[in-house]
Each structure stands twice: as structure tokens, then as C-alpha cells.
Homo-oligomer: A and B are copies of this chain.
Amino acid sequence: MKTWLVTESDLDRIALGAGILGTGGGGNAYLGKLRARERLRAGQRIEIMLPSDLHDDDHIISVGAIGAPTVGIEKIEQGAEGCRAVRAIEAATGKRATALFTDEIGGANALEPMIAAAQLGLPIVDADGMGRAFPELQMNTFFIYGATSTPGVLADEHGATVVYQNVATARRLEKLVRAGTIAMGCSASFALPPFSGAQIKRHGIRHSVSHAWRLGDAVIGARVAKRDPVGEILHREAGRILFQGKIVDVHRWTNAGFARGTVSFDGLGAFASSRLQIEIQNENLIAQLDGEVVATVPDLICIVDAETARPISTEEIRYGMRVAVIGLPASPLLRSMEALAVIGPRAFGYDFDYQPIGSYVEPQPVEMYRDLAVA
């Protein structure tokens, strides 16, 4: 079995790439990166394994942070919440985790399971359930394709765990868990029921950690080489540039628990005479160029700083920022009829159909897999 031992510089790349895959949401990956780095400096290991190396009857538990990204920045974890959530899932199911993973590679949750995995001595599977960030927990490929939604566990910084059992649907679980998260101070750890190795292989989005790493490596490599980081992303990825310009207007409001907004951009360079508008519901969902829809959820609409390609979250967006907007195609697992019913434009309340922006190219595992086999 080939595995990959994550280094501190890998964490830099994964956190940066996860920020881009967050499409404006998913929470801040920087704090998670620092906490994961502390695990490495304490002598613990973060080991990434290929989904193809899973046994069909393995038990893989997704663990991560849940709550408001703005709160997550200020309310620091006690440190072992993720471990407690995993252990409570194990106790509720009688199944021992053979590996951990994230159901959401975009944003903070790319790092969260690594922190628990380092503490528990478990590997991380190079896969996720979104290929990006989504605001609610029913919005992952496992639940979309029929995985049982409970037990789920919330864990807070005081040692409390809350075990949700026999909840009929993932959507109802989301409702109950969201209320619990708010009562815990709008930020907590959450673990999903164990998925089997067969489920991960069938419904997981493969090599998501590698994808985040590759995006981060493009940006960091370009910065070091004094090349254009945005150009380097476009060079390596199957996506395309949607816009370059300046933020000229930001409207924000809150509706049904979503941080919503409309952001307007005036074009620069090749887009000098154009205007872009992006609709936000926690993540960037819809991009309209001169009034025409050019990208929609579940495809990724990533706003990055024009110079540095630093990902810009929806909370940070403000007048005057110079940005590039990159569109990345979503996995086919997110583009099916079943998936679009949960995460397509209509599922978010828009009155038009999904319009794919291009073909998805499955990310390959990072090259290190070949060099750093440990078993």
C-alpha cells in the first residue's frame, strides 16, 4: 500500500488549495493548518492513503468542523473534539474506524480530519464527498447516493458529545445538528456515520487531498518562480478564467440561515468592457457575465486575488479588491440528476438549470505517492 506522509510544506499547499476549492466558503483553512502543523511538530504523523487501497469492508469516518466560518476564526478548538466525535461514532456503531477522511475538501475541513487522524494514529483517505465546499451536510455524494445518515455526532470543546440516531434523512439530520451547533456556540466538531471502503470507492470524489495540494503547489510554485499564480492555476487545471476585474459593489443579507450576497465586478484587461455578477449563498453559486449565466453550482466559482491567487472568502469580499474569477468543472458525481436535485441551481432557489462549464478531469494522486511508499 502506497501512502504519503504529509510535511509542513504539504500543509501549506493543501490549506491554500483547499481555500480555492472552498469557492468562498468552507471556513478558514489557515487555523487548521497551524493546528495540523502542531501535530507534526509533536512527532505525530499525517498519512494519506489512496482510496483504491481501501478494503470494501473498511470503516471510514468523516470528521470536521461545523458552524459559522466567522465564529470558527475566533473560537479556537480545545483540540480533541474531532477525536471525541470519532470515538462516539465508534461507540454508537460498534465499528472501529480504519481511516478518516473529510466529506468536504473545500476550506477548513481539508485539515480537520488530519488533526484527529494524527492523534488517533489513523490514515486519511485521499477522497471527499464534495470536491469543494457546500453549506449543509446533506450535500455530499454519500448522502446524495443513499448512504444512511445516522448516527452522527456533535462534539464541543467542553467534552460533551451529542449522538443523533435513527434520523430519517440527511436533510433532517442537518436541521437537528445545525441547531445543536448553534447551542454549542456556532462552532463544533461533527462526525458522520462510518462509510464502507466500497462506498468510498464508489461514491467518493477521488484524490481530493491531492487536488488541493496541486492547486496550492501551483500557486506557491509560481510565487517562488515569480510567475503569475493565476496563470499557473489555469495552466494546470481543467478550468477556465471567468473574469478579471475589480469589485465595485457588495450587497449582503441573511436569509434562512444562509449568508447571502450579490457581488458586482468591473472588468480589467481582456474583460475591460464587461461586468460580472456573482450570487452568494455561503459559497459562490452563480456567475453572470454581462447578464448571461456563465457558471453555476455545482461547478466551482473561485475568487482569488489577481496578483497572488490567494483565495478570497465570501466574508472577506469588499469594494476595490482586484481579483480573478476561475471556474473549475465539478466531478460527474455532482452533475447527475440525483446530485443536481440536492446541489444544482434549482436546489438553491434559482430558476434555471445547471450549465456545465467544461469537462472534469479526475485529479491524480500527488507524485509523492510513488516516492514515499511506507508499506
Chain A contact residues, CB within 8 Å of chain B: 88, 92, 150, 158-168, 172, 175-176, 178-180, 182-184
Contact = CB atoms under 8 A, between A and B. Distances in A.
A93 to B, nearest CB: 12
A166 B161 contact: yes
A192 to B, nearest CB: 16
A38 B92 CA distance: 34
Nearest to A167: B160
Contact of A159 (B159, B160, B166): B166
Q: For the complex of A and B, list the 6 residue pairs with the smallest distance between their C-beta atoms, beginning with the closest.
A: A179-B183, A163-B163, A160-B167, A179-B179, A161-B165, A176-B183
Contacts of A159: 166, 168
Contacts of A88: 165
Contacts of A183: 175-176, 178-180
A163 B178 CA distance: 15
- The DSSP consensus for interface residues of chain A is mixed
Given A179-B183, A180-B176, A163 B162 contact: yes
A176 B180 CA distance: 6
Given A176-B184, A179-B180, A183-B179, A158 B168 contact: yes
A162 B165 contact: yes
A160 B172 contact: yes
Nearest to A174: B183
A160 B179 contact: no
Contacts of A172: 158, 160
A198 B127 CA distance: 53
Nearest to A182: B179
A83 to B, nearest CB: 13
Contacts of A162: 162-165, 176, 180
Nearest to A158: B168
A162 B180 CA distance: 10
A290 B167 CA distance: 54
A139 B161 CA distance: 22
A197 to B, nearest CB: 27
The winner among A176, A178, A182 for most chain B CB atoms within 10 A is A176
A182 B183 CA distance: 11
The winner among A168, A175, A183 for most chain B CB atoms within 10 A is A183
Contacts of A180: 162, 176, 179-180, 183
Nearest to A92: B163
Contacts of A179: 179-180, 182-183
A158 B168 CA distance: 7
6 contacts: A159-B166, A160-B165, A160-B168, A162-B162, A176-B180, A180-B183
